[in-house]
Amino acid sequence: MENFRYCSPTKYIFGRDMEKETGKEAAAIGAKKVLIVYGGGSAVRSGLLDRVCESLRNSSIEFVSLGGVQPNPVDGAVRKGIEICRSESVDTIIAVGGGSVIDTAKAIALGVPYSGDFWDFYSGKAIAKEALPVGVVLTIPAAGSEGSGNSVITLESEKIKISLRTDFVLRPKFAIMNPELTVTLPAYQTASGIADMMAHIMERYFTPTENVEITDRVSEGILKAIIEEAPKVMSNPQDYQARANIMWSGTLAHNGICGTGRKEDWASHAIEHEISAMYNVTHGAGLAVIFPAWMTFMAKRNPGKIAQYARRVFDVKETNDEAAALEGIDCLKAFFGSIGLPVTFAELGIANPDISEMVRRLHINKGEVIGGYLPLRAADTTEIYRLAL
Amino acid sequence: MENFRYCSPTKYIFGRDMEKETGKEAAAIGAKKVLIVYGGGSAVRSGLLDRVCESLRNSSIEFVSLGGVQPNPVDGAVRKGIEICRSESVDTIIAVGGGSVIDTAKAIALGVPYSGDFWDFYSGKAIAKEALPVGVVLTIPAAGSEGSGNSVITLESEKIKISLRTDFVLRPKFAIMNPELTVTLPAYQTASGIADMMAHIMERYFTPTENVEITDRVSEGILKAIIEEAPKVMSNPQDYQARANIMWSGTLAHNGICGTGRKEDWASHAIEHEISAMYNVTHGAGLAVIFPAWMTFMAKRNPGKIAQYARRVFDVKETNDEAAALEGIDCLKAFFGSIGLPVTFAELGIANPDISEMVRRLHINKGEVIGGYLPLRAADTTEIYRLAL
């Protein structure tokens, strides 16, 4: 176990009807004027946005709004949000949506008090030290952004997708999580969210750090819960209890608890980000393609932890590590397939991916060497993309 | 899953030498003058107290101190601490020790800004709304008080031991956790701490709430990690890695994450509190006696969750629920025995416990009906005490 610092101060308000508490929670953190950030029309059509606005009104909180945030969110919406906040003297941002909306809200929160361009934080030119407070009303369990200090934004002009990671600054002050809001999610989006949350755990689980039994066991536990609950939400989207289990799993997957005391990997996320930046695929679906390929690459070179994963998460009985690892990867692929996710580029709808271009961009954006479980160079990431064909 | 609110804002600073950061962390929460609360002489003899004081001096923080806090801490030390804080204008309390010291520090923190008697909060006459900030330098992994909002104090004149539970007010602002500080703990204290942390999980795991797969799996994961690491610390007390795993497990066991979305039980703690209040036994050792007895009582009446525990935590293969439950209880007793803990009153050194007096006091203190898994009345708690003979 390595030394660590960990603080997850987000207040979670979880359960039916909880969006009605938005105003009360916003008032508790001192909000006077709020920017509501949301995505497409579903938050409008479902009446959720109305309920959030009414709750703010009931707490005498003024608000303006910014809709239309797209999946794989881009810098344009962030800049627009920063302008609105400045001209309207907004003091608090509330994201009503999933990861893209929350990440946009976080980027806006960071940009408002900063005199330069908000992208400086993502490009590494500036260090995030302050931000407006962010609250969340979560509608898509996937990205885990409701409990994380992270934000992923794409610079549209360059098609660069960068994940900014902060320890505390970007953690939401509160996250309202009503599983009922997720029962209308399309099946593909539900499944992609499941892959995303599993990937968040696995990026931390596949570590070179030894003696992290407690963090391993917690991680395996969350994975097992997801694998058990996923078929229930897929077969019966109205199953509140299964939706609730999946929703809370997505938060625990990415609030950092699965990373305590160890190095993390994050190569698969970096490798996938190039797919979604170039082909605009759903992030979780891209991960369902890349993660098994990454694991297959590792099964030959460093099978130990992949074998442990296979045995503890999928109850693989095989005693040889490499064989157990490969069996575990088959189980994972079968699981992804069973919830309707692609596990190859072809299934993802990309017949001839431009691997050399993705590899080139990957290492320009993320450096010559990526990953923590084993360091990966261009030849390695090329092989991983190929293993996903 | 039930609706819930959850917020665990404590900042954990975990690893070797981290006590040297006490001053920095105290300064970050605005400390100008600190009361250091500690227990017996071991914090003095080991030099830990000196290192903490030096760290405070380096951050230009003044301090006074209060030592001599005993296990099963009593109101006297709390009153003394409140007096010191008021006369010395202390603004922050730092506990250097285990659960007894931390719980005393929390009680002092609550009492200082309150005009009445601090016991009002424990007796239920007053609701905890504010307290001085508390920081922790943890030396005993057991009570989980470093991450909880709880405090257990005994009113010495009445021998009443009461656990005060707050959502946020009493959660420490920071907890410094250096596993090296725990390598000198006596074996019995180490083992009692392990029983205490397991009990904290099990009090939440044995619930009437259904469909809490995610919380179940996380709980089972922490239990499995403890059961795997415990023999390592018992056979080699110097094993830093095993100590680190146990230390972090103790925090996760009691920071509330294992209780999210469900009713909790806490009957075994209440039943045990009467033993330690009357016979002054180590709390964890008392729990090692009572928990198997409570489970045996339940195995006949409501075996489902006990059987799941047996199968998932101890890999019991038995398909009949009651039989599986009983087999799991045997595994738990064998585990406690293997780390040197008692599992009967006799082994605890109490040849003829005054069961009727404990039952009488239990239901006076905690009400006619206790527990969440199944409600327990005097006839039931009598049987549970008897099952522990």
> Distance from A89 to chain B by nearest Cα, in Å?
28
Per-residue model confidence (pLDDT) at position B40? 82
Query: How far is it, in rounded angstroms, from Cα A175 to Cα A191?
Result: 22
End-to-end C-alpha distance for chain A, whole angstroms = 36
> Distance from A197 to chain B by nearest Cα, in Å?
13
Residue B16 has pLDDT above 90, yes or no: yes
Query: How far is it, in rounded angstroms, from Cα B245 to Cα B222?
Result: 10
Q: Which of A229, A266, A233 is nearest to A249 (CA)?
A: A229
Residues facing residue A36 across a β-bridge: A65, A94
The amino acid sitting at A29 is I
> Distance from B212 to chain A by nearest Cα, in Å?
7
CB contact under 8 A, B2 and A10: no
Beta strand extents in A169-315 (DSSP E only): 174-177
Q: Torsion-angle region of residue A144: left (phi > 0), alpha (psi -120 to 50) or beta?
A: left
Per-residue model confidence (pLDDT) at position B39? 96
CB contact under 8 A, B221 and A218: yes
Angle at B96 between CA A216 and CA B18, to 5 degrees: 50
> For testing the chain A interface, which of B213, B220, B222 should be mutated: the one with the most A CBs within 10 Å?
B213
> Distance from A379 to chain B by nearest Cα, in Å?
36
Question: B5 to chain A: which residues are within 8 Å by CB?
Answer: 11-14
Torsion of CA B389, B203, B255, A265, to 10 degrees: 110
> Distance from B225 to chain A by nearest Cα, in Å?
5
Query: How far is it, in rounded angstroms, from Cα B374 to Cα B389?
Result: 22
CB contact under 8 A, B5 and A16: no
Pairing of strands B4-14, B150-155: unpaired
Burial (CB < 10 A; 0-12, 13-18, 19+), residue B17, is exposed
Q: Shortest CB distance from A248 goes to which of B14, B241, B261?
A: B261
- Helix (H, G, I), strand (E, B), or coil: what is residue A72? coil
Per-residue model confidence (pLDDT) at position A167? 87
Query: How far is it, in rounded angstroms, from Cα B279 to Cα B388?
Result: 15
CB contact under 8 A, B6 and A14: yes
Q: Shortest CB distance from B220 goes to which of A15, A215, A221?
A: A221
Question: A9 to chain B: which residues are within 8 Å by CB?
Answer: 7-9
Q: Shortest CB distance from B14 goes to which of A4, A213, A249?
A: A4
ipTM field: 0.97
Q: Shortest CB distance from A261 goes to which of B214, B248, B257?
A: B248
Minimum CA–CA partner of B4 in chain A: A14
- Asked whether A243 and A179 are in contact (CB, 8 A), the reply is yes
| A307-328 burial code (b ≥16 CB/10 A, e <16) | bbbbbbbbebeeeebbebbbbb
User: What is the DSSP code (8-state) at residue A369?
Assistant: S
The whole model's pTM is what? 0.97
CB contact under 8 A, A10 and B7: yes
Q: Which two tokens stand for residue B241?
A: 């890695």
Per-residue model confidence (pLDDT) at position A72? 86
Q: Shortest CB distance from A15 goes to which of B3, B211, B257?
A: B3
Phi, psi of B227 (to 5 degrees): -65, -30
- Mean pLDDT for the stretch of residues B317-322: 98
CB contact under 8 A, A260 and B14: yes
- Residue range B141-185, pLDDT digits in tens: 999 999 999 999 999 998 888 899 998 899 999 999 999 999 999
Question: B213 to chain A: which residues are within 8 Å by CB?
Answer: 225, 228-229, 245
Question: Residue B4 CB: number of other CB atoms within 10 A?
Answer: 18
CB contact under 8 A, B11 and A15: no
Q: Shortest CB distance from B225 goes to which of A6, A7, A213?
A: A213
- Asked whether B161 and B154 are in contact (CB, 8 A), the reply is yes
Question: Residue B74 CB: number of other CB atoms within 10 A?
Answer: 18
User: What is the DSSP code (8-state) at residue B113?
Assistant: T
Q: Shortest CB distance from A11 goes to which of B7, B10, B244?
A: B7
Question: A205 to chain B: which residues are within 8 Å by CB?
Answer: none
CB contact under 8 A, A18 and B3: yes
Per-residue model confidence (pLDDT) at position A160? 87
Question: B10 to chain A: which residues are within 8 Å by CB?
Answer: 7
| B186-225 burial code (b ≥16 CB/10 A, e <16) | eeebbbbbbbbbbbbbbbbbbbebebbbbbbbbbbbbbbb
Q: Which of B286, B249, B282, B261 is nearest to B271 (CA)?
A: B286
Q: For chain B, give the mean pLDDT.
A: 97
Query: How far is it, in rounded angstroms, from Cα B4 to Cα B84?
Result: 38
Question: B12 to chain A: which residues are within 8 Å by CB?
Answer: 4-7, 260
- Residue range B72-93, pLDDT digits in tens: 899 999 999 999 999 999 999 9
CB contact under 8 A, B245 and A213: yes
Query: How far is it, in rounded angstroms, from Cα B89 to Cα B74?
Result: 23
Torsion of CA B126, B127, B131, B137, to 10 degrees: 100
- Mean pLDDT for the stretch of residues B356-383: 96
CB contact under 8 A, B18 and A4: no
Per-residue pLDDT tens, chain A, 389 aa: give them: 999 999 999 999 999 999 999 999 999 999 999 999 999 888 999 999 999 999 999 999 999 999 999 988 999 999 999 999 999 999 999 999 999 999 999 999 999 999 999 999 999 999 999 999 999 999 999 999 999 999 999 999 988 888 999 988 999 999 999 999 999 999 999 999 999 999 999 999 999 999 999 999 999 999 999 999 999 999 999 999 999 999 999 999 999 999 999 999 999 999 999 998 889 899 999 999 999 999 999 999 999 999 999 999 999 999 999 999 999 999 999 999 999 999 999 999 999 999 999 999 999 989 999 999 999 999 999 999 999 99
Q: Which two tokens stand for residue A23?
A: 């105003």
Burial (CB < 10 A; 0-12, 13-18, 19+), residue A157, is exposed
- Residue range A253-268, pLDDT digits in tens: 999 999 999 999 999 9
Q: Which two tokens stand for residue B110?
A: 């609550």
How many inter-chain contacts (A to B, CB under 8 Å) are there? 135
CA dist A326 to A300, A307, A322, Å?
A: 9, 8, 6
- Helix (H, G, I), strand (E, B), or coil: what is residue B128? coil
Minimum CA–CA partner of B212 in chain A: A245
Query: How far is it, in rounded angstroms, from Cα B309 to Cα B316?
Result: 9
Question: Residue B101 CB: number of other CB atoms within 10 A?
Answer: 32
Question: A7 to chain B: which residues are within 8 Å by CB?
Answer: 9-12
